[in-house]
Structure 1
Amino acid sequence: MADRPTAREAIAALTADFTESAVPAGDTAGDGPLGWSGYAESRARATALTGEQESVVHGTATVGGRPCVLISFEFGFLGGSLGQRTGDRLEAAYEEAMTRRLPLVSLIATGGSRMQEGMIALTQLHRVARASARLRAAGPAQLAVLRDPTTGGGWATLGAGADVILAVPGAQVGFAGSRVRPADADPGAYTTEGQLAAGQTDAVVPPGELPAAVGHWLRLLAHREPPPAPAPVPAALSSAGLPRTGWDAVLRARSASRPHAEAYLDAYFTVRLPLSGDRCGGTDPGLLCGFGLHDGEPVAYVAQCGTATRPAGYRTAARVIRLADRLGVPVLTLVDTPGAANDAAAERAGAGAAIADAFAAIAAARVPVTTLVIGEGGSGGALALASPDNTHVTADSYFSVIAPELAAAILKRSPDQVHATAGQLRLRPQDLVDLGIARSVVRRDPPGQ
């Protein structure tokens, strides 16, 4: 692309506050580790064209008032490819982020590993993966911005390995670049939009909106050392009184007119940024995940929207909960599902393993998890996203081991006994408090914390 921004133009478009870090010492003389004829001349031409000595620039920056370590790729330097000296710079950037305990932001535009350095170039991916793992273990977040193109090892390490992945519209994104993929491959699969639909990225952000988006994310992803306070319980959005019977509770929870997840999230957060996809090729539009600001403090959220939750939804939820746990951010879950999806496609997509992963993420979380049941609490598919010790319910919700209709069928009861079965299940909000499953029935004013 003739109008592709350079590495420094990409930095300047994001922030005016950038200080380049010292370049690690390294031998760049001659034709490289393979003695590739003409490689020295190619590097010299790349430097003359771009003014850079390598394919990445790195340093410290402030974006949206938040400090970070910033990496920017120069595609004009041998296609933004990764060689040994590139690996030196990337490793130094990760090390600086770890030492300073700052998040790492990568502005990626790369065609992959540098052929002229052969396996030496390819093994730089090990270095990047190791540096990324060390930074993740230390706590700070990693955010990637996918420019055009983002392919090969750069996508499979800095890009796909980031905690939050943003991409500019229309960029080529994929492990296989345009010259090496199958001739009959669907080109749409290798685009920003295709990767978003496949659950591989979190959001498509126009270039002009990147400074605000990155700044918001850096605020929400700031690492916090002390254990955080639990996320406050949202106020109920309905003024409904307690249901008289179990079947009344079921009908209220299933009503299309009661408040759903979007309304609760809009009322709770002043800023809300979504995370999308399970990184395994799937998304679930019936599950909303991300980070937001409530009373000026970050809170991660996982919210069911009243549909059967797909395996991709549980995997996305587990990803968000684990990220929040690493960053020291409390979690809010909104439970509202008739249950986990149980069709053949869900089974083939690993429903059992995905639900188990969600249970495990909440069980292992060191940060507090707050749950509000806002509608249907359908069996294990709902319980997988519920806090074991801080769950609250609204007056227009229920929580049950199984739907009353299914319970009656399993017990070989006639259809006219469904209502009585609902009562026996003790699934009303007030029953759940009496049983110790829920702490409170939430009204329009939230309970004291």
Structure 2
Amino acid sequence: MAERRPSARDAIALVADRFAELPCAMRDYAPDGPLGWQGYDASRARAAERTGEAESVVCGTAEVEGGRAVLIAFEFGFLGGSLGERTGDRLEAAYTYAREHRLPVVPLIATGGSRMQEGMRALTQLQRVARQSVLTREAGLPQIAVLRDPTTGGGWATLGAGADVVLALEGAQVGFAGSRVRPADADPAAYTAEAQLAAGAADAVVPAEGLRPLLGRWLRLLTAPAAAPAGEPAPPPLPLGRTEPPASGWDAVLRARAPGRPRAGHYLDAYFTERVAIRGDRCGGTDDGMLCGFGAHEGRTVAYAAQTGTATRPAGFRTAARLIRLADRLGIPVLTLVDTPGAANDAEAERQGAGAAIAEVFAAVAGARTPLTTLVIGEGGSGGALALAAPGNTWATPDSYFSVIAPELAAAILKRPVTRVAATADQLLIRPQDLERLGVARVRTGEQPFPGTG
């Protein structure tokens, strides 16, 4: 006997401590719906009897680990969780309630797509849902989608992929094309939650038992009241490495490149009491060298985008831009940690749109209304580093440098021998104390040494 697919009520029970269904006035259908599809009324009646639901979604308010939200739970047993006009009525009512009561929206999706028995009237519900999502985004409210099995068609392309944060249950079927409409030779592994995570379309894949605490953390961090006055930037982290200034430009370079110095992960662990990560650029790419997410610092939520010492890929820049735009919309301050020898410059990076991706970050930083803070914790390599730097609020640790170009490349361009690289580094004025004199950055001082770097 096939295992029973979890219902909408099962999904609600999986995440919610309390749930109260929202009333919704739904339209009356003409016999057999807008197309007069023979047998449609009977199909809906059987679905209602089998599931106990009047439509393919159940909407209500919930408490999740102490955080309040509007939940939209799909009932796959009701005609495959398909979207029809009455589904659209419920979804619009739920989004409207969320905006009126300043609540985040959490769709728990399990759908096969639009309801063919209602034809184009059903398909146009996707425009209706997209409009509600945009209005909610403009209201500064977060949307966190949970992808259940299956999440396909227009439900994935609007409620799922259009959310700010996308969490997926392990093993869930996820893709625009459902199993019955894919090419016969399609690789089924491409239509999974895990594949979407690898392609940068989902932020996390989580087992069912881990969903409630993870969703609770997300709600807590994205809806936490500000613990500081609006517009106040996040304080830069204290330096974790050496605290004495470098003696020369080349000394600064060597210290920034030292394998044992503290990296972004150490800084994030020291700065935040809890944090959650976003992953991927929503364009098919990920970059493990760019860590992005939200964390709690001294009772306040701070967004972070942190380079980890590698050459930043286009997907990394696009993920950082996505993070900054989301934080800006939610009024959350941003901390960026700069640590890269520069933007990736290989042929594949060019094919992936390196220049456009870097431009996207520059634009996100320049247009942000929320305050940004930057700490250079290692290498600050040219425009790939500057793209993440906050104008007027950039700090540098004593074991970092920031340069218009790597000293070796500068020497090569000037046709200087290798023996002149160190002198070129001095000439570029790239030490933290040089940057402070130039008005580019301030030296971040403090007494919090990282073990093994003294």
Contact 1:395 1:443 in 2 (8 A): no
8 Å CA contact retained: 1:239, 1:444: no
What are the superposed Cα offsets for residues 374-403 of structure 1, whole Å, 9 maximum, x if unpaired?
Answer: 000000000000111111111110000000
Residue 171 of structure 2 corresponds to which residue in structure 1? 170
In 2, Cα distance between equivalents of 1:127 and 1:378? 45
What is the match of residue 27 of structure 1?
A: 28
Cα distance in 1 between the residues matched to 2:26 and 2:412: 73
Name the SS of the counterpart of 1:146 in structure 2: strand
2:111 maps to 110
Alpha-carbon distance, 1:289 to partner: 0.3
Alignment match, 1:365? 368
TM-score by length of 2: 0.96
Whole-Å Cα distance in 1 between the matches of residues 442 and 412 of structure 2? 31
Counterpart contact for 1:224–1:327, Cα < 8 Å: no
Q: CA RMSD in A?
A: 1.3
> What letter corresponds to residue 338 of structure 2 in structure 1?
V
Whole-Å separation in 1 of the counterparts to 2:235 and 2:123: 48
Aligned to 1:205: 206
Deviations 1:393-441 (A, max 9, x none): 1111000000001001111111111111000000011101111111223
1:181 — aligned with what? 182
Q: Is the 8 A contact 2:280 2:315 kept in 1?
A: yes
Is contact 1:238-1:444 (8 Å) kept?
Answer: no
How many residue pairs match? The answer is 446
Contact 1:391 1:437 in 2 (8 A): yes
- Are the equivalent residues in 2 in contact too, given 1:240–1:396 (CA < 8 A)? yes
In the alignment, what sits opposite 2:5?
4
The 10-residue stretch of structure 1 (222-231 or 392-401) with the greater mean CA deviation from structure 2: 222-231
1:443 corresponds to: 446
Matched, 1:288 2:310: no
* Matched ranges for 1:298-313 at <5 A: 298-313=301-316
Q: Supply the distance in 2 between the matched residues of 1:296 and 1:210 (Cα, whole angstroms).
A: 23
Give the CA deviation at 1:372: 0.5
What is the distance in 2 between the residues matched to 1:278 and 1:426?
35
Q: One-letter code of the match for 1:337?
A: T
What's the counterpart of residue 192 of structure 2? 191
Match in the other structure for 1:255: 258
Cα distance in 2 for residues equivalent to 1:223 and 1:151: 32
Q: What is the Cα deviation at residue 14 of structure 1?
A: 1.1
Encode CA deviations 1:349-386: one digit per residue, 9 max, x unaligned.
11011000001111111111111100000000000001
Determine if contact 2:243/2:447 at 8 Å carries over to the other structure.
no
Deviations 1:30-53 (A, max 9, x none): 211001111111101101110011
| Runs of 5+ unmatched residues, structure 2 | 450-454
Deviation string for 1:291-337 (max 9, x for gaps)? 01111211100000000000000100001111111111110000000
Q: Is contact 1:224–1:329 with CA below 8 Å preserved after alignment?
A: no
Do residues 316 (structure 1) and 319 (structure 2) align?
A: yes
Question: How far 1:165 sits from its partner (Å)?
Answer: 0.4
Greater mean deviation of Cα atoms: 433-442 or 65-74: 433-442
Stretches of structure 1 lacking an aligned partner (at least 5 in a row): none
Give me the whole-angstrom Cα distance separating, in 2, the residues matched to 1:7 and 1:28: 23
Paired position in structure 2 for 1:424: 427
CA contact (8 A) 2:398 2:443 kept: no
Range 400-409 or range 233-242, more displaced:
233-242
Find the counterpart in structure 2 of residue 74 from structure 1. Answer: 75
TM-score normalized with structure 1 length: 0.97
1:85 alignment counterpart: 86
Helix, strand or coil for the counterpart of 1:408? helix
